[in-house]
Every structure is written in structure tokens, then in C-alpha cells.
Amino acid sequence: MPDRILFITGRLAEPLLRRIVAPLAHEAGFEARILVLPITVVALATVDWIVRHMERPEEVDRIIVPGLCPGRPEDLSKAWGIPVEQGPRDLLDLPAYFKRPGAPPSLDRHATEILAEINHAPRLTSHDLIAQATAWAEQGADIIDIGCQPGERWLGVADAVRSLKDLGLRVSIDSFDAWEVGQAAKAGAELVLSVNSTNKEAAADWGIEVVAIPDQPTNESSLEETIEWLIKRQVPFRADPILEPIGHGFGASLLRYAGFRQRHPKTPMMMGVGNVTELSEVDSAGINFLLAALCEEWTIGSVLTTEVIGWCRGCVRELDISRRMAHLAINERRLPRQLGAELVMLREARPTARGPEFLHEMARSINDSNFRIFAENGSIHVMNATTHLEGNNPFDLFQKLLQREAIDSGHAFYLGYEMCKAITALTLGKNYTQDQALRWGYLTRPEIAHRSRPDERS
């Protein structure tokens, strides 16, 4: 016998709920029942209110209350002796809610180490250096790379390394100055970026791991020679064939990474991604995911990144998410989908629309003065019991509202804020739900619902 599931809703959402639940029940194999409470918008009903206005349901196996209902569904379960769960915050998410295969996949594992480089570290105060390093460590960086100034010897490099080590951070040093590297190594740095034929003679004296690079990106033989030199002197190393910018040998450099891995299947490797992310005027998240996936496939165990240019702000966090997604997808031989959508920031993971019938029914059914705002099919809809305006210019809509309604300053600010979100959603193809934050992936900021503030109108 299929589960008998009772959906609790309010008057305005009833038509849309019925249209969604009917095919969903058939597809998911349950018997759907709908109970309409004596309230316009059920999200305004607390759990305590539902208990007072609703008798214990009979002949149902589960009850689903809307995700926006304040309160704890377990209180209803206790009162009625029937399992009660809180559904999604938006009706349109019900299909995904029922099709989910259980808990979302865990992204707690990865195989790639992130080095986050602090560029021009000698120019920073100790306070700023520590602030940047701790912020990147919180965002997922495993090693903080201290970038020195070419041609300028940094006398305070040891103090800088010690200040980060005292915080429990792992540190690498990016310099071709043998003295700077030696001081950093004595202070606790564990890795040197980088070593080639010009400075390899000093590597045996530092006593720490180094990154071997070619003398020139296209000179693969120089990388092989440096590696051979390091192996003979038992200097630990990881190899970086150098990723080149798009338009300056990017594709060929990828082939060099692949070729090196084929020739040296067990040698530790690193990829510095900044030549592509920093030097390509595009948002960095997608690039970081693709490069992290290549590192996972080719067992390149570490990536070096930085966040200098504006479109790269967030690269450390993006790589942290990317390496986890790639690790799961490749090791479980699955597509990197339905993994939390944390990197879907400018678009929408599941675009949805309520449709013109819902909007018409909503406008017809409202019997109070509170405004409802929707954004669909290129237009913003603003409606209450006496008004239904539609347009794609928030300024024009607000002027028309002022001709029909007396709006105080506080409510004007609220309407402007919500219509700004609505036009942003239309511009980017995002889903808009009134009083909820737009979804920006891992950048999403939680939002306090306007109607939950007792001193406000809506």
C-alpha cells in the first residue's frame, strides 16, 4: 500500500500545490492528500497556530508542512502521533525534495593540497600578513605561500614565517634568493617555490622540499635535468611543468603536464593556476573547477593560487569546493552534479516558474493590503487585494504604486529592496522568492524575512 501523505497549505498556494503534487504522487508512488488551512499564506502560520486550528488527521502516514512555517515539526509529531516533516521553502522545489536519494553526497574528502600565495608579502604589515593568511586557511588553504619581492632582499622573512608558524599554519616561501629561502627554512617553512638550474645548487642546504620547474616553460629537458640533480642529492621535490596563459601556450602546457605524468607516474606534482585565472578576464569558479578536475585525474597533488585581480577574489574557496567535487566524481565514477550547487553563483541550479495561471489566481485571491512580489518571464509582478502591476522597470512600478497606495518610508524601502532582488533575478535567470535571499552558491548570505519583523507592515 503506498504511503498516504498529507500536504498542509494555505488558500493562495492550494492551486499550485495541486498541480505539482498530482504528477509527483504518480511518479514517486504515494497517495497525496491536501488540507487547506483557514489562512491566506500558510507560511504565516506557526506550528502552535496549526495545532490550534487543525484536528488530528486520520488515515495518513506522513504529514508535510511548508518549509517557511516557523516552529518545529516534531512538536506536531508529538501532538498527533504522526510523522511530520518540514518540506522545502518553495513549492516548486517539491519534485527535487521527493526525488532526492537520501542525504546529499559528502564532500568531506579530497586529494589535492591548496597553496595560497600572499603576493608582495614584504610590503605588508605583520597584522595584514597574519589576517590574510588566517582568512585563507579558514577558506581551505593548506599551506600559506609567502611571495617575496624579486631583486629586494627581505630581512624580515624569518619573523614573518615564525609569526604564521606560531598560529599553527604551514608555510612555503616563494623566492629565488638563496639567503631568503635559507632564513625561511630555519624559521619553519616547509616548501620552496621554486628551483631550476639557476638555484638548484643551494637546494641541498635548505633541508626542505622544493618545487622543481623548467628554466623556460617549453624547455622540458631542463626540468628533467633539475629533477635528476635533486634525486641524486636526495632533495625532496614536487614538479611543476608550468601552466601558461591562454593565448601564450595554454593548450601545449596542458599536454606537458599530461606527458610528464605519463613519464613519471609516481612523482609528486604541482600546478600553479594563476597564469590562467589571474590572466583571463572571466569569473574564476568554472576555471578553478576544470583545473582541479585535471589535477584529480592526473594525480597532481597540489595547486598554487592567489587572489590579486578582482575576478579572482574567492579562488581559495572555489578550489576547496572544486577539489572535493572532483574527488567525489572521479572516485565514484559519477557526474559532478547534485553536489550542493555551491559553485553555481551567477545562474540557477534548477530554474523554475510558477506560470501565468498561478499569478492570475494569486492576484484574484488576495484579500489583504500586503504586497506580494514575483519575478517571472521577464517581468516583476506586484500585487495585493486592490492592485496588480507588471513591468520590468522597478522605478516605473514604484511610481505607479504611489499613484494607487499610501506607502510610508519604511515600506517603500522594503519594496525597493525586494524589487531590486527581483530585477537581479530576472537579469541573471535566477529564481526569486519574496523575503528570501537570492541563491549565490557558497556566497549566499542568509536573509531575515521582512514579515518576521513585528514593526513592519508586510
pLDDT the model gives residue 458: 37
pLDDT the model gives residue 101: 52
Task: Report yes or no: 92 and 352 within 8 Å, Cβ to Cβ.
Answer: yes
Query: Strand locations in 232-312, DSSP E?
Result: 237-239, 270-272, 302-305
pLDDT the model gives residue 453: 41
pLDDT the model gives residue 45: 77
Which residue type is seen at 110? H
Question: Measuring CA to CA, how many Å separate 389 from each of 27, 144, 370, 405?
Answer: 37, 54, 14, 12
What is the DSSP code (8-state) at residue 269? B
**Structural domains in the chain, sorted by start:** 4-99 (3.40.50), 113-331 (3.20.20.20), 356-452 (no CATH)
* Dihedral angle of Cα 7, 9, 12, 16, to the nearest 10 degrees: -20
| Residue 228 CB coordination number (10 Å) | 10
CA 14 to chain centre: 33
One pLDDT digit (tens) per residue for the chain, 458 residues = 788 999 988 887 888 888 889 888 888 889 999 999 888 777 677 777 887 888 888 889 999 988 878 778 888 888 888 898 888 877 878 888 887 555 567 899 999 999 999 999 999 999 999 999 999 999 999 999 999 999 899 999 999 999 999 999 999 999 999 999 999 999 999 999 999 999 999 999 999 999 999 999 999 999 999 999 999 999 999 999 999 999 999 999 999 999 999 999 999 999 999 999 999 999 999 999 999 999 999 999 999 999 999 999 999 999 999 999 999 999 988 889 878 889 999 999 888 888 888 888 888 888 888 899 999 989 999 999 999 999 999 999 999 999 988 899 999 999 999 999 999 999 999 999 898 899 999 999 988 765 544 333 33
Cα(218)–Cα(243) distance, rounded to whole angstroms? 10
Q: pTM higher than 0.85, yes or no?
A: no
**Complete edge-to-edge strand list for the sheet that includes strand 4-9:** 31-36, 4-9, 62-65, 84-86
Cα(303)–Cα(234) distance, rounded to whole angstroms? 23
Question: Buried b / exposed e across 142-181, counting CB within 10 Å, b at 16+?
Answer: bbbbbbbeeeeebeebbebbbbbbeeebbbbbbbbbeebb
For the chain, the 3-state helix, strand and coil shares in percent, each to the nearest 5, are: 45, 15, 40
pLDDT the model gives residue 389: 94
Handedness of CA 259, 263, 265, 267 (dihedral sign): negative
Task: Report yes or no: 10 and 40 within 8 Å, Cβ to Cβ.
Answer: yes
Cα(187)–Cα(171) distance, rounded to whole angstroms? 10
Query: Strand locations in 284-425, DSSP E?
Result: 302-305, 372-376, 379-383, 388-391
pLDDT the model gives residue 451: 52
Handedness of CA 416, 418, 421, 425 (dihedral sign): negative
| Sequence-separated (6 or more) residues with CB below 8 Å from residue 311 | 281, 282, 283, 284
Which string of DSSP letters, residue by residue, matches 150-179? Answer: TTS--TTHHHHHHHHHTTT-EEEEE-S-HH
